[in-house]
Amino acid sequence: MATQRTTKSSGVSGNEAVATTTAATSNKAPRGTRVRPVPAVSRTIAILRLLGDTKQPMGVKAIADALELIPSTCLHILRVLVSEGLVTVDPSTKRYALGSGMISLARSVLGGGSFAQLVQPALDRLAAHSGVTAMGVEVTGVQSAVVLALSRSDQPFRFHTDVGSQFNSLVSATGRLIAAHNGETWSQLRKRFDKIEWDNAPTFDQWKSEIEQARALGWSMDRDHFINGMTAVAVPVIGQSGRMTHTLASVGLSSHLDPSAVNALAARMLQEARQLAGALP
């Protein structure tokens, strides 16, 4: 029976289970964008994220306590979410959970010529040829990245993640690319680096050197740092705007990815990314 490595958060682009967000307003908007606070929207998003992270039904008081909301306010928001099918409520226990309406929203994102559809054939080729878990990752504006598509190899030991998984945007190989492209100063990156969770953390100077190398090579690698025993390779996908909007990321056993294999994998991924970029808006 195949054994899969399940991670706390994986990053490359690997993948990560994101920590429960206690306040939607903690996410920062992209630079240069002024966002006026809309408390009702922020609270609604926070409730949806909490229910998604806990993965079990919760009562109004538990939700309100976790998010520091007034219970009556929390209840009114939940009733609206229930009426829209985004949340369900068990009449007997009065506990709330995400509803099937969330699936419809997700399908809208993943269908109709989306990045997820466009990238899937490339991921399948990478996984089959190189024996890796290949992922299409979206770089968001809130200091996180999201796995939108993936393809798993048939190797008995492999990295495991799921579509929809979120992770710290600076983690693993994708994190090095984001740090190389996002325009933040080393001082800003240092503050964020200290909050990253690793199996075997590099020093900041080592991480900085790898970011500079990613700028020079056009691709990045994380070997045994985010997840010990796993090597991640990531390449940027540049949209028509000239901005890195997504990455292709591959994760495999370090024992199967020696330097020559990593270089060959990176070259193949860069070719796939160039072809993909031409189809993106």
Query: Which domains, from first to last, does the chain contain?
Result: 3-17+107-277 (3.30.450.40), 24-105 (1.10.10.10)
pTM of the model: 0.67
Nearest one of 12, 68, 4, 76 to 40, comparing CA atoms: 76
- Whose structure tokens read 């990560």? 16
Give per-residue burial for 226-236: e unless 16+ CB within 10 Å, then b. bbeebbbbbbb
Q: 166 or 253: which carries more pLDDT confidence?
A: 253
DSSP conformational letter for 201: P
Q: What is the pLDDT of residues 112-164, one digit of tens each?
A: 558 888 899 999 999 999 999 999 998 876 577 888 899 988 776 667 777 87
In this predicted structure, the answer to whether residue 224 has a pLDDT above a threshold of 60 is yes
Residue 10's pLDDT is what? 39
Q: SS3 for 180?
A: helix
pLDDT at 235 over 80: yes
**Does residue 12 surpass a pLDDT of 70?**
no
pLDDT for position 155 = 73
Helix, strand, or coil (residue 39): helix
Cα distance between residue 150 and residue 197, in whole Å? 23
Q: Which residue has the tokens 């039904």?
A: 57
